Structure 1
Amino acid sequence: MKKYYQSKNWAKTSLLALVVAGASLSLPVQSVLAKEPLVGALQPGAPVTFADLIEQVSPAVVSVNVIIREETTAQDMEGIPDVFREWLERQRPNGGDRPAPRVREGRALGSGFVISDDGYIVTNHHVIAKASEITIQFEDGKEFDAELIGSDERTDLAVLKIESPKPLPHVSFATDIKLRVGDWVVAVGNPFGLGGTATAGIVSATGREIGRSAYDFIQVDASINQGNSGGPTFDLYGNVVGVNSQILSPSGGNIGIGFAIPARVASKISKELIEKGSVTRGW
């Protein structure tokens, strides 16, 4: 789990990245932006329901399961002080060969969402950064092996590709919608590996600066936890307004301060990753 520190506004408070974030260019068959809210009408005494919205978008939200394989020696000396490391080296008979390397396997979980019917998927860079294998699972349980098309550490975005014999459900970025503080949002993802989970909240702030990032974030109070990384945050029309990336927390758990990469950034970066596999900058 990555930690970020920002002396400007959050002195001595860690921003924990979650192992928990394109639209029109030539992405095949994008879904049309909805024009009517997909939530229950506000009526006197009646609660707001997000059921229709969640039912529409959930089929396009996926779990990202990552296997990480790292080669190490049988006698892993990482973290051992030099004086002891040298002593252990001298214990090898006649300066014999080092122990044969072995493979250590780990796992990571995150979320993502399909942005085209032919299988392009957006997630976070930090979810797949060290991946040896990536598997995508849909809410109906279907699984697909995924190929990494490209990733960009600076924006914490990555694009994956899966092959499906049938067109896939997908969602679109809300690049032309200006969010306001107080707008409702819904986050859908895979917290703690539980599978499709939806939470609702509001936009708490826009243009939020975090650490040394060159890009700003949307701050939301919808519950975001470990495993939500790379999952989408939707507006009430079912359009992706942000890609969940980080939370502010002294303990690693949700306290109602989450950060999402704005759709305008995610849309632009994902297009470039699909076209070129990397992002080119002049700075």
Structure 2
Amino acid sequence: MSDTIVKNRLRKPIDSLTINKDDLLKFLQILQERANSACEIECNHIESFIKVEDLEKSKENLRSCSALKLTITGMDGEELFGSITEVFESLSFPEQIKSLYLNSELIYKSNFNYIPRNRFDIFIDFRKPKVLDFSFAPSEKTPNDSTFCVEGFDSTWVNGVFSEIDKFFNKRSSSISGIHKNSIYDVIVWILGIPIGFWACYKLSINISQVFSDSFLQNALFVYIFFLSLFILRILFHYFRWLYPQVQYKSTNDLSIIHRGFFYVIATSIIGAFLYDMLHLLF
């Protein structure tokens, strides 16, 4: 009985990543080495069914396909496709990257309609969540399509490449990526949002009572102020996610530091005033 050949497939989403151009180039160069090793495995495999007189030519064709081709899309819609060197040395390389896609079997299929036994593909989504996008609930995980997949019939190669990619991303994960997980917003609302909403009503209660004598209008304004506070919290939460994206490409002209300073001034002013009044009331 012949041995059963099992195809291994390992896929994982990229939950957190902060990377610059140099690290991205280093990562792609590592992948090129792994693609070369996969090509050599392929060359050894075809020896069992290719005629001797055609073997060297077939190996030459396979090795010509091992050079990786990638697609990089910029935030302004510009798109670059080519080898690693061609793309990264291009004068049109975008300042802000929107996405990167790489498939190691692409050239095999396009040139010879050949499907290699071992392959990988990677898609990195660098898009930031929009601050004023209310189409999805803030309690949900931040949408991001970044993922990588390694598959093949050589389990040693598959597991090795998958582990290497995974470790590379883990070493460059964001320290505050938890802000993009499910239900984080709900926790913030209960710990800060609701108390600050009541505090805002308390701070404005004297002004409201002086301007409006009608109790219905007073109560309506208190309700409005309470929900307005939660709405502002939601905007600030989206803004924080935008400042610290789940998958971030750090460019040389990154203005995030300025935005972060602006955010911290607003956040510390609100939370500081809230805590001061709470401590004053308690003590």
- Category of TM-score, reference length = shorter chain: under 0.3
Hey, which of these two has a bigger chunk of strand by percent?
A: 1
Q: Which of the pair is proportionally richer in helix?
A: 2
**If the length of structure 1 is used for normalisation, what is the TM-score?**
0.20
Calculate the TM-score normalised by the size of structure 2: 0.20
